[in-house]
Amino acid sequence: MAKKNDETRHYGGRGDPVRSMELLWGLGQAPRSRGPKQGLTVERIVQAGIEIADAEGLAAVSMRRVADRLAVGTMSLYTYVPSKAELVDVMFDRAIGSAARPEVEGGWREKLTAIARSAWDLYLRHPWLLQVMAMSRPPLGPNSIADYDHQLRAVDGIGLTELEMDSVVGMVGVYVQGAARAAVEAASSVQATGQTDDEWWSVYAPLLEKVFDAEKYPVAARVGAIAGETYQSAYDARHGFEFGLARILDGVESLITSRKPHPQP
């Protein structure tokens, strides 16, 4: 039995590939606007979709919702964008284009760190991007390709093969997505429960003290006490992101170092 379609996720390639590429790259003839209430453009439609997704998530985006936001009839949108599938592809590419592409001083490590932090900020501004399954089937738009090229230039000429360059930027990208997803979920828990982490801990900490045996779990008691005092919660997403990123780059640095010739004794 086929699984029910998950409306919270978007997979590239479900729409018309010709129309998707035309919309992504601004090809084809622009439709004529009709009537005083029209004045529609692809960019206005895409921006409306982004605003809805930012506020309510990807599942809330539909051609009807976008039309309502623009105060036009739903059918008028189809002259510009064939369906939600193509719309989300373009939304993704335009959102990627809004990210900063920092040109930082320093070596590859400083550059990859800046790239990862920029992506982290982008995901927190547009959490719905994490619902777009774009690693294996990315929307092949100008901003996505420019972003990929920018990432590759950070590790070009440092002793990696082309496949290793691709793997390094892919590894960092996947890591940032995972860390950002944890941060977004933590933030959404506050909205869903109406309770901050501090408020949650103030309720559960006294209850835990009644049942927790520090002598039985001494390491957990020692580490948990220090972490809880430092973070004022069970977990700090930003600290976890920065710590994990540094360890990943440590591994890349080890790979690069292993390629360098060792001095003869």
206-223 pLDDT, tens digit each? 898 899 899 999 998 898
> How high is the pLDDT of residue 259?
83
Residue 138 has pLDDT above 90, yes or no: no
Containing 10, the helix (H) or strand (E) segment is: strand 10-11
Asked whether 137 and 172 are in contact (CB, 8 A), the reply is no
pLDDT band at 203 (very low <50, low <70, confident <90, very high): confident
Q: What are phi and psi of 133, to 5 degrees?
A: -80, 85
* 55/52 Cα distance (integer angstroms): 5
* 3 state SS of 11: strand
Tell me the β-bridge partners of 132. Answer: 10
Question: Helices 142-154 and 84-97, interaxial angle, to 10°?
Answer: 40
2-41 pLDDT, tens digit each? 444 456 678 776 778 899 999 999 987 666 555 444 589 9
Give 258's contacts (C-beta < 8 A, 6+ positions apart).
none
Q: What are phi and psi of 32, to 5 degrees?
A: -85, 135
What mean pLDDT comes out for the span 111-133?
A: 94
Lowest-confidence region among 48-62, 98-112, 141-155? 98-112
Percent of the chain exceeding pLDDT 90 equals 63
Asked whether 88 and 61 are in contact (CB, 8 A), the reply is yes
* 89/14 Cα distance (integer angstroms): 10
More confident residue, 33 or 110: 110
Give 179's contacts (C-beta < 8 A, 6+ positions apart).
120, 237, 240, 241, 244, 245
What mean pLDDT comes out for the span 74-102?
A: 93
> How high is the pLDDT of residue 231?
72
Percent of the chain exceeding pLDDT 70 equals 89
Residue 52 has pLDDT above 70, yes or no: yes
Catalogue all structural domains in the chain, each as residue range(s) with its CATH number: 10-96 (1.10.10.60), 101-259 (1.10.357.10)
Asked whether 115 and 155 are in contact (CB, 8 A), the reply is no
What mean pLDDT comes out for the span 231-245?
A: 85
In this structure, the chain runs to a length of 265
Nearest to 107 by CA among 258, 252, 262: 252
pTM over 0.85: yes
What mean pLDDT comes out for the span 50-73?
A: 96
Q: What's the whole-number average pLDDT of the chain?
A: 88
Asked whether 13 and 134 are in contact (CB, 8 A), the reply is no
